[in-house]
A and B are shown apart, each in its own frame.
Chain A
Amino acid sequence: MSKAAELAALIGSGQAQGDKNLIINGAATVHQRGNQTASNGSAVYFVDRWNMYHNSGALAANLQQSTVVPSGQGFNNSILVDCTTVDSSVGAAEVALLRQIIEGQNLQRLAYGSSGAKSLTISFWVRSTKTGIYVVDIYHADATSRTQSHQYTISQADTWEYKTLTFSGDTSIATDNDNAATFYVQWVLMSGTDHTSGSLATTWQNQTDVNRFVGQVNFFDSTSNNFYLTGVQMEVGDVATAFEHEDIATTLRKCQRYYAIRENTHASSSQYYSMLQAYNTTSIFGYIADYPATMRATPTASQSGSFGAYKKDSGNASMPTTIGNLVGTSYGWRSDGWASGSNLVAGDASVMFANSGAKLMADAEL
């Protein structure tokens, strides 16, 4: 096939379009939360959009953004799972999954539930101390839970390898066109027999757990083990194409739909945020700041560092340094009553400030 014909075929398949990657932050460049540690029974987010879930009472792991990357591919970062405590006796129900969850409205291009359902191909660079068979599983979480899984093999320890896996389309069950969790794209790191004792589901089938992680090695069998992942791309079609590198602003904007931070990054000075209003002599309330992007859902709000506010005469209102009644709305942070200040006058304006390093967070992850 000539180059022109190859290009025409790619355009026709939709693979040559921009924004072809259904995975967000596949190069691990955005890392707003900082490094974390895994937690039994919780999905712990670390590198933006990526979380690790496990239900082992034994294992422990550091979850980090790494600068270890495959050479010559244009990557500067990778996702790192660093085993710090082993699980040498894996219980039947135990699993450990590195994953990204995708909302349904971003999957409509797959045309699932129709005769035109499209296949998809996942490509990635992976490096692990533990060699052997690993599994990537897609769990479709809409009304009828469906799964499809494929194996790949890590042949050499601590060596970057490029893998591609193609998942067939599902003509039976559509993906909901909404903002809820629809696809769990999961890199399995450990599994007990509840998920390994059947036959691997290499085509879509209703959820049958024993068919999902068949053959998976136990990555968590040594504290020397490190698992790295980068260059993750999931695209329509049967062929993996070159990774679509993005400018940082594009990737950050995509990530901010799910998690956002407003931080005073000035080294030593406070920063004005917004104008609140005194409700009585000790309390202020009002709108604080917009999120940097429209978020997927009303987010969970949190804060760190110290904040304050001024009185009408620019004197410090001596507010507690933690914002009272901080809530996330559909468009930004607000306080619905920050109490225990002093010498305020109801109805007066009050300028709010953030000290150096203080930040507001909003979490609308799936």
Chain B
Amino acid sequence: MEIKNAKYMKSLTDQEKIGISATIGGTDVTVPLDPANRHYEEILRQVAAGELTIADAD
């Protein structure tokens, strides 16, 4: 699965991490921090494999 531009998002109101913005298969998406979500599972796998880095939130 091609994942690009992975970056943590934070809430405007409380500054908590709310998800990861990324481009998956050419589509801009927000991936929740939920282990049952297949995209989050794949992001964690790619990070562990050294294939992907998640940038910090702005």
> In the complex, how many angstroms separate the beta carbon of A294 from the nearest chain B beta carbon?
13
Contacts A299-B37, A336-B9, A366-B38: A327 and B19 contacting too (C-beta < 8 A)?
A: yes
B56 is an interface residue with CB less than 8 A from chain A: no
In the complex, which residues 299-357 of chain A have their Cβ closer than 8 Å to any Cβ of chain B? 299-302, 325-329, 336-337, 339
Does the CB pair B34–A336 fall under 8 Å? no
B residues less than 8 Å from A296 (CB atoms): 36
Known: A285-B13, A300-B32, A337-B12. A42 touches B37 (CB 8 A): no
Contacts of B12 in A (CB 8 A): 279, 283, 285, 325, 336-337, 339
CB-contacts of B3-26 with A (<8 A): 9-13, 18-19, 24-25
Interface string of B25-58 (1 = CB under 8 A from A): 1011111101011110000000000000000000
Q: How far is the CA of A151 from the CA of B10 in the complex (A)?
A: 51
Given A325-B12, A337-B11, do A302 and B28 touch, yes or no (CB 8 Å)? yes
Any B CB within 8 A of the CB of A179: yes
Contact between chains at A42 and B27 (CB < 8 Å):
no
Which chain A positions have C-beta within 8 A of B32? 298-301, 327-329
Asked if A22 CB lies within 8 Å of chain B CBs, one says: no
**Are the CB atoms of A325 and B18 closer together than 8 Å?**
yes
The residues of A that contact B36 with a CB separation of less than 8 Å are: 179-180, 296-298
Question: Which residues 41-99 of A have a CB within 8 angstroms of B?
Answer: 41-44
By a CB distance below 8 angstroms, the chain A residues around B30 are: 300-302, 325-328
Query: CB within 8 Å of A: which residues of B?
Result: 1-2, 9-13, 18-19, 24-25, 27-32, 34, 36-39
Residues in A lying within 8 Å of B, measured CB to CB: 39, 41-44, 179-180, 279, 283, 285, 296-302, 325-329, 336-337, 339, 363-366
